[in-house]
Amino acid sequence: MIIATAGHVDHGKTSLIKALTGVDTDTLAEEKARGLTINLGYAYLPSSDGRIIGFIDVPGHHRFINTMISGVSGIDRALVIIAADDGPMPQTSEHLNVLSVLGVTDIDIVITKIDAVTPERVVEVAQRAREVVDARCDSEGEVFQVSSVTGDGIDALKSHLESLPTKGRDQALERGFRLSIDRRFHVSGAGLVVTGTASTGTIHVGDHLILQPKGLEVRVRELRANDVMVKSATAGQRVALCLAGKVELGDIDRGDCLVEPSLDQLSHRLDVQLSLLSDAPTALKHLSPAKLYIGAGRVSAKVALIENAISSLAPGQTKMAQLILDSPISAYSGERFVLRDDSESFHLGGGVILDPNGPQYGKAKPERLTWLSALATGSTDTALRDLLASDRTIAWSDLTRAFHLKEGAALPSLPDTAVKFDLQQSTWITTRNAISAARQALLDALSDEKAQASDSRGVPKEKLMKLAGKTSNRALLEATLTTLIKTGVLGVTDGRVHDAPDRNKPDGNERHWSNLERQLITAGHHTPVLSELQRDAQLDETSLKLALKYGTDKGFLHRINATRYALTTTLLDFAETSESLASERNFSVADFKDELGIGRKLAVEILEFFDNINFTQRQGNERTIANPKAIRSRLKL
């Protein structure tokens, strides 16, 4: 757990940490001479259960607010320090504003110097402090009254901090390693050392990292986490890394980031959710210059307001915006930031990054705002489901890049309506409805162009894609066109797409097939038996047979047994689920059924079909994959 102090200058932040840990965090001669904190200070408190609590002591003087912001980025909890003699002061409010926009909600109030005033004054200041904190932060922390001189209240505060549960960091650990550097120095006999709070991922001795934004490669020679020599460290710990490589002290600036190589990307434009403080002294106009504080870094930026064509953001409002950076930085979706005015005289507000790869053009289009709204959920799984609910086609790499997921991150479980396909070494996820729409868009574009052109050789592929692409995703169109050609619906000659030789012949079965296909798409994984299918498609027995023949002849449909048929795409989903289950261990009918959320009878029939084509092999009550290529061979893909 990492805890930072906050509060006005000379309210006893450094003295409190010394009373808690025995460590004087003011190490500079200038700090001791002037009696105030200038740089960030660090101390550690081992708890009785073996955990280590890390403290970050920040400056309280308004001239060092930049340093304060870098110190509280990525913390778990804050101690707002208020002296009993002074009460809340200007920097108290300013620091609380920083904590609020950084999303720090676990805040305890510590009234210091209680030995210097009457008990009545302590009660008065405690009540006022609670009001000030509640007005700016959504916190339910406790209030403590202490004296660093006499030791009163110190044990109670220490016991409280030791009793706090460890904060869960499952999402942060799913991401690649990233650390924003807040200090860098040489250590005699060790070499170059950098420190910071690890925001995401895990790091090991010997790992290679990239120093951003300069792009220099380094190797971790030694590693300390929470002031203890270790072999590995994780998100949420204070980390010191001894680095090897072609890098010098002068190559590193405060705010530079160390990331694992798979995350070596720089952001030039950040799409964000931006909140202006309710007490901000002015509205924020479109393209206003500002200073962005993120991690331990600071960069100049312009604020483009992209939502609902608004021209300004009023105090207290929250809207989507794009931060156009003067210089590139490392960032990821979900990261918090602070925004100050360009002259750095006052706080404007802050918020959370939605997409670290904002586009230069089209940033205010409705589909772009839909994408950002999904990212605002803060979860890869939820964002993916929200996008699929609106029949979007998503590149998995776009989500992994936005959230800084580890290389090779596995797809989450997908809803029944979803379909996964691979194209150009990328994985895409879409819906059955989107596939149907893309198929129709291609066929309509081909028909429209045919009606207007006298050239019977067909339409150039690129032209067809452009004509159909007004409402469909390019990757989805390419995959759908490939399927239409493979299944014989369309043909291609010398780069021109045309009707298949037999497609111009009148075929009354196509209409029956469309009704049947629509029902199967709607059913998803819950593939119905023929009697249910006939009823829902409103077909007589003859029409049903003709539709089944049409679908199987075209390769859209496959016979499972005498009473059930399934779409090609659905069978591929079933096959991928089988392979996923078998990758961990042999799987049972129950495993298969539960994973897909289907009935036992259907699960048995599908697995028996897979057994018959030698895709799976039954071993008692369990199955394994016998021939991975058998399914695609049977489906003629």
- In 549-568, which positions are buried (b, 16+ CB within 10 angstroms) versus exposed (e)? ebbeebbbbbebeeebbbbb
Q: What is the DSSP letter of 488?
A: T
101-106: average pLDDT: 87
Distance between CA atoms of residues 280 and 277, nearest Å: 5
Q: How many CB atoms lie within 10 A of CB 150?
A: 11
Residue 522's identity, in one-letter code, is T
Rounded Cα distance between 162 and 139, Å, is 19
Q: Would you tell me the crossing angle of helices 568-582 and 589-596 to the nearest 10 degrees?
A: 120
Question: May I ask the CATH architecture of the domain 2-163?
Answer: 3-Layer(aba) Sandwich (3.40)
pTM above 0.85, yes or no: no
Check residue 601 and give its pLDDT. 95
pLDDT at position 287: 93
Name which residue leads in pLDDT, 408 or 538.
538
Split at pLDDT 50, 70, 90, the class of 454 is low
Average pLDDT over residues 479-507: 77
Query: In which band, very low, low, confident or very high, does the pLDDT at 28 lie, cut at 50, 70 and 90?
Result: very low
Looking at every residue in the chain, the average pLDDT score rounds to: 87
What pLDDT score does 540 carry?
Answer: 84
Q: CATH class for domain 509-635?
A: mainly alpha
Residue from 54, 78, 56 nearest 225 by CA: 54
Give the model's pLDDT for residue 36. 46
For residue 378, which amino acid is it?
Answer: G
HSE-up of residue 577 (Cα within 13 Å, Cβ side): 28
pLDDT attached to residue 168: 67
Q: Which of 183, 223, 165, 213 is nearest to 1 (CA)?
A: 165
Least confident of 23-37, 369-383, 451-465, 606-620: 23-37
Report the C-alpha gap between 400 and 161 in whole angstroms: 35
Measured CA distances, 235 to 171, 199, 418 (Å): 10, 5, 33
Residue 455: predicted pLDDT: 57
Give the span between the Cα atoms of 632 and 637, in whole angstroms. 5
For the beta sheet containing 616-619, the strands, ordered from the edge strand earlier in sequence to the opposite edge, are 587-588, 622-625, 616-619
Asked if pLDDT for residue 630 goes beyond 60, the answer is: yes
For 380-434, the pLDDT digits (tens) are 999 999 999 989 999 999 999 999 888 778 888 888 888 888 887 889 999 989 9
Contact residues for 511 (Cβ-Cβ < 8 A; gap 6+): none
**CATH number for the domain formed by residue range(s) 171-263:** 2.40.30.10
CA dist 577 and 528 (Å) reads 19
Residue 203 token pair: 């790091």
Count other Cβ atoms within 10 Å, centred on residue 36. Answer: 18
Residue 326 has pLDDT above 90, yes or no: yes
* Bond into 213 cis (ω within 30): yes
Quick one: average pLDDT of 340-356? 92
Q: What type of residue is 297?
A: G
Q: Which two tokens stand for residue 246?
A: 């072609």
When pLDDT is cut at 50, 70 and 90, the band that residue 32 belongs to is very low
Rounded to whole angstroms, the Cα distance separating 421 from 440 reads 19
8 Å CB contact between 111 and 129:
yes
Task: Tell me how far CA of residue 96 lies from CA of 112, 145, 244, 404, 429, in angstroms.
Answer: 17, 19, 39, 29, 42
Q: Which residues of 327-362 are buried (b: 16+ CB within 10 A; e: fewer)?
A: eebbbbbbbbbbbbbeeeeebbbbbbbbbbbbeeee
**CA proximity to 582, closest of 612, 610, 548, 545:** 610
What's the chain's length in residues?
A: 637
177 or 166, higher pLDDT: 177
| pLDDT single digits (tens) 573-625 | 999 999 989 988 899 999 999 999 999 999 999 999 999 999 999 999 999 99
Residue-level pLDDT at 510: 74
CA distance 518 to 613: 27
Band the pLDDT of 345: cuts 50, 70, 90.
confident
Say which DSSP state 620 is in. Answer: T
10 Å CB burial of residue 515 (0-12, 13-18, 19+) is middle
Which uninterrupted H or E stretch holds 462?
helix 461-468
| Lowest mean per-residue pLDDT among 313-317, 408-412, 620-624, 629-633 | 408-412
Domain boundaries, the chain: 2-163, 171-263, 271-367, 509-635
- Confidence label for 90 from pLDDT (cuts 50, 70 and 90): confident
Tell me, rounded to whole angstroms, the distance of Cα 96 from its chain centroid. 26
Give yes or no for a contact between 590 and 601, defined as CB atoms under 8 angstroms apart: no
Q: Other CB atoms closer than 10 Å to residue 166's CB: what's the count? A: 10
CATH architecture of 271-367: Beta Barrel (2.40)
Helix (H, G, I), strand (E, B) or coil at 510: helix
Strand (E) positions, 434-556? 459-460, 490-493, 496-499
Topology agreement, domain 2-163 and domain 509-635: no
pLDDT of 506 reads: 43
What average pLDDT does the segment 290-304 reach? 93
Q: Read off the tokens for 397.
A: 């790499």
